[in-house]
A = this chain, B = another copy of it.
Amino acid sequence: MSHAQKGPLYLTNTLTRRKEEFIPLRPPHVGLYVCGPTVYSDVHLGNVRTFTTFDLLYRWLRHLGYTVRYVRNITDVGHLVGDVDEGEDKIAKRARLEQLEPMEIVQKYTNGFHDVMRLFNILPPSIEPTATGHLIEQIEMVKRIIDAGYGYEANGSVYFDVPKFAEKHAYGELSGRRIDELQANTRDTEGMDEKRSPLDFAIWKKADPTHLMKWPSPWGEGFPGWHLECSAMSTKYLGQTFDIHGGGMDLKFPHHECEIAQSVAADGHAPVRYWMHGNMLTVNGRKMAKSEGNGFTPEELITGNHKLLEKGYSAMTVRFFMLQCHYASTLDFSNAALQAAEKGLERLMAAMDVLDKLKPAPAPDAAQDEAVKALAQRCHEAMNDDLNSPVLIAELFEGVRLINSANDGKVLLSAAAISGLQELFRAMVFDVLGLKREAQAAADDKALDGLVQVFIQMRAEAKARKDFATSDRIRDQLAAMGIVLKDTKEGTTWQRA
């Protein structure tokens, strides 16, 4: 499908706070960068929402025919506790607690992150670079920032000079902060023996001798500042200016604001044309956080093993639930909403089963051919309207009603209408929304046991009426299928041969 075929794509650019037509720099290529996880602990569901949002964007851009280079990083050094410039590295701290080498922590939680991404059917990015894998690129960028006059060394660390940068450039444009207000309001004294202004941030930090994660640099042994990696890696793989940068809303300031400043300072270009931010997940109206005791993990969600969960919900139920809400809105996580999503997803999948088997009516209603085309167009427009997945899903339920009516013989669909619906549902449900059938295995196991129990009951009844021909026949037929009945004092059980 061509990207020009069905009208333009509009995205809300958080830099301009407007819905804008998306025009890539070098079509059919699109460069997309999304801030990935800091791999020091289990992924929580808020992260899953963010990555689901950008998975939806990635899938939609591909559906439109773009060749997307999707870069999503792994932060494995430089992210300090409290997201500040002083204190312990989050990964080093966890390594100390778990008595492991920092890179063992990185591997463990990277593997865990990938498992969760796979569980939620979130596609892997084209490139998944790590901060430790790009130290040279970061050191080179620090040099360029210093050379441009916006970085200064102090005691083996290098800081970005925010007030000096703000004299000539917009600082705070993305987050809507004003430099004078920031200066008036700051009570931040960390690193003030080294920093010229409390607004300055570290782009290279000196490491003390006990630090495990450190590398040689022109300023001595140290490690990169947290904000730097994304600038260095997006520049390396997507160029000095690229199409779309995404992340969770909490990263707007200071992280993304600093990314802009770093790129402008080092290379003289605004790095990103379209900024996109996903909104937060709340639980029963309260912010999800570990400290609140409501930040359950994907595993707890699936098993239902958490005090706030009435039952377990499948990964696809949760994905569907998330996509029923627009990415820019907050989403509240409640049992009632999850259970409604579970039912909705079942209805959608059941309709797709019906659709697979639907036969054309002998005398189809030609008007329905147009109705199916119009439905497909509305689905497309919903996604082109800033990825409006809730509207897309509502349109798909219009389709569900049509499918069920056709199955009941109340609507007469032609072969063309049926194949149009099949193409639409496959594309939108599987490719774009990224939903998939699941848990069939568990369901089959239950069904199998149910059937065997019916045989066991029939056999007992046949025995009771002394119809041994029938009871033996049932036993033999099951045995032929590898199901062995065993009569015990407690009744008849079965097992596989």
Residues of A at under 8 Å CB distance from B? 69, 100-101, 103-104, 106-108, 111, 114, 124-130, 132-133, 135-136, 140, 215-216, 237, 350, 353, 357, 440-441, 443-445, 447-448, 450-452, 454-455, 477-478, 481-483, 495-497
Contact = CB atoms under 8 A, between A and B. Distances in A.
Rank and list the top 9 A-B pairs by shortest CB-CB distance, nearest first. A133-B133, A441-B441, A450-B481, A451-B451, A444-B444, A103-B127, A104-B126, A448-B448, A136-B215
A26 to B, nearest CB: 14
B353 A495 contact: yes
A104 B444 CA distance: 39
Given A101-B127, A135-B136, A441-B441, A447 B482 contact: yes
A444 B136 CA distance: 54
Given A101-B127, A107-B124, A127-B103, A455 B451 contact: yes
A124 B111 contact: yes
Contact of A451 (B132, B136, B350, B481): B481
21 contacts: A101-B126, A101-B127, A103-B127, A104-B126, A106-B127, A107-B127, A107-B128, A108-B126, A135-B135, A135-B136, A136-B136, A136-B215, A353-B495, A353-B496, A441-B441, A443-B496, A444-B445, A447-B483, A451-B455, A454-B455, A454-B477
B350 A497 contact: yes
Contacts of A215: 136
Contact of A133 (B100, B127, B132, B451): B132
A495 B357 contact: yes
A272 to B, nearest CB: 19
Given A69-B101, A133-B133, 18 more contacts: A101-B127, A101-B237, A103-B129, A103-B237, A104-B127, A107-B124, A107-B125, A107-B127, A111-B124, A132-B133, A135-B135, A135-B136, A140-B216, A350-B496, A357-B495, A440-B445, A448-B451, A454-B478
A381 to B, nearest CB: 32
A495 B447 CA distance: 12
A445 B495 CA distance: 15
